[in-house]
Structure 1
Amino acid sequence: MVSINKTSSKPYYEQLMLGIKEDILSGLLQSGDRLPSVREMARQLMMNPNTVSKAYKLLETQEVIVTVKGKGTYVNKIDTTLRDEYQIQKIKKKFDELIIDANYLNVQKEEMCQWLDESYQHLKGE
C-alpha cells in the first residue's frame, strides 16, 4: 500500500505516483480497481488534496489511471506495447544521475548491477 515518507527529499506527489505504480506492478492494484477519491487519499495519507490531485493528474497523463466523471478514478489497463520516449529519456537521465552519485561514492558497477537485479526481483515478488 502507498506510504509517504515525510522526511524524504522527494516531493510527496512523486512518492504517491511511485507508490501507486509499485502497487500496480506488484499486483496489489489491478486493472479496473478503483482508487480512493482525491479527498479520501489525502485523508488516508494526511496530505494536502492539491498534492494528491497533482499526482493523479500526472498519472492520468501517463495513462496509468483514468478518471470517469462522476464515477471515480481507476487503474488503467497496462499497455505493454506503450513506450513513451519522453518518459524513457527522463528515466535515463535519473539513471545517469544515480550512476554519477554511485561512482562518486566509489560503488562498483557489479554492485550497482546487483542492486538493479534485487529491485527487479522485489517488484516481481521473487
Structure 2
Amino acid sequence: MVLQIVTGDPRPIVRQITDGVKRLIAAGELLPGDVLPSVRGMAQQLSINPNTVAKAYTELTAEGWLHARAGLGLFVAEQRQRLSNTERERRLGEAVDRFVSDVIGLDYPPQTVLDHVATELAHYAARKTA
C-alpha cells in the first residue's frame, strides 16, 4: 500500500491518510480482506507519529471502511453502503465546493474542467472493474 503525505497540503495528516486509504479502496487497489500495515509500520513508512496513524485507522474503522480482527490487524471491510444518502449528499456538496474553490482561479472553461473530472472518474472506474 502506497500513501504519501504532502507537507504543503492544507488537509491535516490524519485526513490525508483517511482520504488516501478511501481512494485506494474505491479504486480497487485495496480489496475486501486485504490487510493494512500495522500502525507502527505505517508510521515508519510515512515518517510520522504512530498516534496520527492510529487516529486515521480509528476513523476508517468507525466509518466502516476497515474492520479489526483481534490479534491479526486491520483489514479492508466488505463494501456496503457506509453512509446514509443524506450524509453522502452533504459530503458530495462539500467536496464539490472545495474543488470549485481550488479550480476557479485556474481560469479554465467549465467544459475543460468537467472533461478532466470525467476522465479521472473513468480512470478509477476502469481500475475498479479490472
Taking structure 2 as the reference length, the TM-score comes to 0.81
Identity %: 28
Q: Does 1:27 align with 2:28?
A: yes
**Structure 1 spans left out of the alignment, 5+ residues:** none
Query: For the residues of structure 1 that align with 2:41 and 2:89, how far apart are their CA atoms?
Result: 31
Superposed displacement of residue 96, structure 1: 2.1
Over 3 Å counting, the alpha-carbon distance change for 1:101 and 1:46 in structure 2 is closer
SS across alignment from 1:34: coil
Question: What CA RMSD, in Å, does the superposition of the two structures yield over aligned residues?
Answer: 2.0
Residue 111 of structure 1 aligns with which residue?
112
Residue 93 of structure 1 aligns with which residue?
94
Query: For the residues of structure 2 that align with 1:51 and 1:74, how far apart are their CA atoms?
Result: 18
**Structure 2 spans left out of the alignment, 5+ residues:** none
Taking structure 1 as the reference length, the TM-score comes to 0.84
Which contiguous aligned blocks of 4+ residues in structure 1 show a shift greater than 6 angstroms?
none
Per mean C-alpha deviation after superposition, the further-off stretch among 46-55 and 98-107 is 98-107
Superposed displacement of residue 17, structure 1: 1.1
Query: For the residues of structure 1 that align with 2:99 and 2:4, how far apart are their CA atoms?
Result: 23
Residue identity opposite 1:11 in structure 2: P
Superposed displacement of residue 101, structure 1: 4.6
Residue identity opposite 1:50 in structure 2: N
Superposed displacement of residue 73, structure 1: 0.4
Q: 2:64·2:82 contact (CA, 8 Å) conserved in 1?
A: no
